[in-house]
Chain A
């Protein structure tokens, strides 16, 4: 959905977008920002990059949004922008170093959680995206396709493979938890 500004766009401007007042934006932000940030953080693994991409996502949304979008389409559109931005970051390879997420306090199952996290980190970014959208956001295949730009039929196959891989990676960690 990202557009390259061509000469026509440069001369005549973008399609008209209605003015969005700040209170409406705040409502939208309150409803969508936290899950969107978690998604970005899950895929890119860096809080600073996730915050940067989150801000960029909303800026692009405000610049290019259409007026006829309902809540579901708005959500898909936001995830689409975020996913495209993530892919750009992954392609540029500038943020791959030092993937670290700060831990909040000490928890009794810290070792297990770190184990699960390191396991999930071994998945590819695309696999993490698909699994997150399907199982955390609860999106169906069509919604995932809209958010990622993939075909719905491909989603089924890719999601199956990602789930199987994640389950195989998680199995030792969960077995360890059960014995503990």
Chain B
């Protein structure tokens, strides 16, 4: 609390630009705590700003105590449960984002790869089949096709990893935390 000045009793105590008084915060605190120094009480009777502050603060505090008595706040566990539910939902939405991205990639890559496969005629089946990736398919892949296919595989792996990461985090966020 600020020290009360000697000229506290004057109605014109420290008038501010907006007709305020530097002791309004003291008056407000006194109303809240119930501790009224006599000098402040006398000042509040004569100073317009402080008397207004007192009247308004008293009315609001009465309203506050009435409201608090009328109905208590909801139970904390209800709010906690709701927050956990939303956190899980939030993580699920993030996981969904990655799985949706995977779906988009599939929509882009599968037709592209089909088109690529159809445009490159597969060679007739040889009599002696060699189980070699390079021998059977590698010859069909040109440089850009390889990069395209590889980027698709990497992006799909990234989407699966990130989606799974958020799903795991969701699983590790139980609704009832202890």
Contacts and interface: CB of A to CB of B under 8 A. Distances in A.
A25 B76 contact: yes
Interface string B39-72: 0000000000101110111011111101111111
B56 A167 contact: yes
A62 B66 contact: no
A101 B118 CA distance: 73
B28 A33 contact: no
Given A138-B28, A163-B52, A38 B20 contact: no
Interface string A39-61: 00110000100010011001100
A136 B62 contact: no
Given A10-B94, A37-B73, A131 B82 contact: no
A177 B129 CA distance: 105
Interface in B99-137: none
A59 B89 CA distance: 12
A104 B69 contact: yes
Nearest to A56: B82
Contacts of B56: 131, 135, 163, 166-167, 170
A176 interface: no
Nearest to B56: A166
A103 B69 CA distance: 10
A63 B60 CA distance: 32
Contacts of A117: 63
Interface residues of A, number: 51
Nearest to B169: A13
Contacts of B73: 29, 33-34, 36-37, 51, 54
B83 A62 contact: yes
Interface of B: 16, 18-20, 25, 28-29, 31-32, 49, 51-53, 55-57, 59-64, 66-74, 76-80, 82-83, 86-87, 90, 94, 97, 177-178
9 contacts: A10-B94, A33-B76, A37-B67, A62-B83, A103-B70, A113-B62, A131-B60, A135-B61, A138-B28
